[in-house]
Amino acid sequence: MPNVIRLEYRNVTMRFAQGAGHLTAVEDVSFAVRDGEVVSLIGPSGCGKSTLLNIGSGLTAPSEGQAFVDGERVEGPNAHVAFMLQKDLLLPWRTVAENVMFGVEIRGVAPDERRRRAQALLENLKLAEFSGHYPHQLSGGMRQRVALARTLAVDPSVLLLDEPFSAVDAQTRMVLQRELAQTLKRAGKTALLITHDLLEAVTLSDRVLVMSRRPGRIIDEISIDIPGRDDPLKRRQHPKVNQTIDRLMDRLDIGAIEPPSTQVPA
């Protein structure tokens, strides 16, 4: 079902109280992510990317508009989505396997099934031999892989990823990107990826959405017609990658002098 819409934002606006007035973080954002699609969201800092993620996961309600996951309106945390942040958020008192089981445990999955899922995921992500380790015994890249396993363990239909690899070193990041790409492809998962890394956006996604400065609006949408979404290391060598990055830089005004107004022409 390639055309089923998994995640959709409809006219979402988010305002936060600030002093006497309010601050508009996100304004009238609408877009949809189809089944199995990986969409990246890029934009300047503070343009409301993470706000959109919180709305999608049901942690915050939008001021206006609605978010839908699997056709259902998001009215709170729900079983269809799972998120992963820049911080691994591993619990130091739990072993790797217990951390992977954290989400399924909360959702009340039976102990045998929890262990089976954790075991399978740890094997897929080459972490099986560390299942009894504690987080402080692992490297940053391994910890982030455990976080990915924990996110996948609840078998969400949509993954919301907020700069998942921005805290690891460049080489580890490339390895993790490839693992994520392969895992998403293998499991046929739908994902919304927030990133600052233009190369990451281009090599990992089917589509890239560009957001403006605050108040954040979608100002461009670029389909990435480059083969090999499951192998970012190979995909990055494709000549069209640089072309696309140039276009993104242009849209984001990177290289230009800091614009005088907060409004970016749409």
Q: List interacting residues with another protein (CB under 8 A).
A: 54, 57-59, 77-79, 81-83, 85, 87, 89, 91-94, 102-103, 105-107, 134, 136, 154
Please state the closest distance from residue 57 (CB atom) to another protein, in A. Answer: 5
Please state the closest distance from residue 77 (CB atom) to another protein, in A. Answer: 5
d(CA 172, CA 141): 6
Q: Whose Cβ is closer to another protein: residue 106's or residue 256's?
A: 106
Please state the closest distance from residue 200 (CB atom) to another protein, in A. Answer: 21
**Contact between residue 199 and residue 245 where contact means Cβ atoms under 8 Å apart:** yes
Please state the closest distance from residue 132 (CB atom) to another protein, in A. Answer: 11
Please state the closest distance from residue 98 (CB atom) to another protein, in A. Answer: 10
Q: Whose Cβ is closer to another protein: residue 33's or residue 222's?
A: 33
Please state the closest distance from residue 93 (CB atom) to another protein, in A. Answer: 5
Q: Whose Cβ is closer to another protein: residue 103's or residue 141's?
A: 103
Q: Whose Cβ is closer to another protein: residue 43's or residue 156's?
A: 156
Other C-beta atoms closer than 10 Å to the C-beta of 23 total: 13
d(CA 235, CA 133): 34
Q: Whose Cβ is closer to another protein: residue 106's or residue 110's?
A: 106
Q: Whose Cβ is closer to another protein: residue 82's or residue 97's?
A: 82
The side-by-side arrangement of strands in the sheet containing 64-69 is 21-34, 5-18, 64-69, 72-73
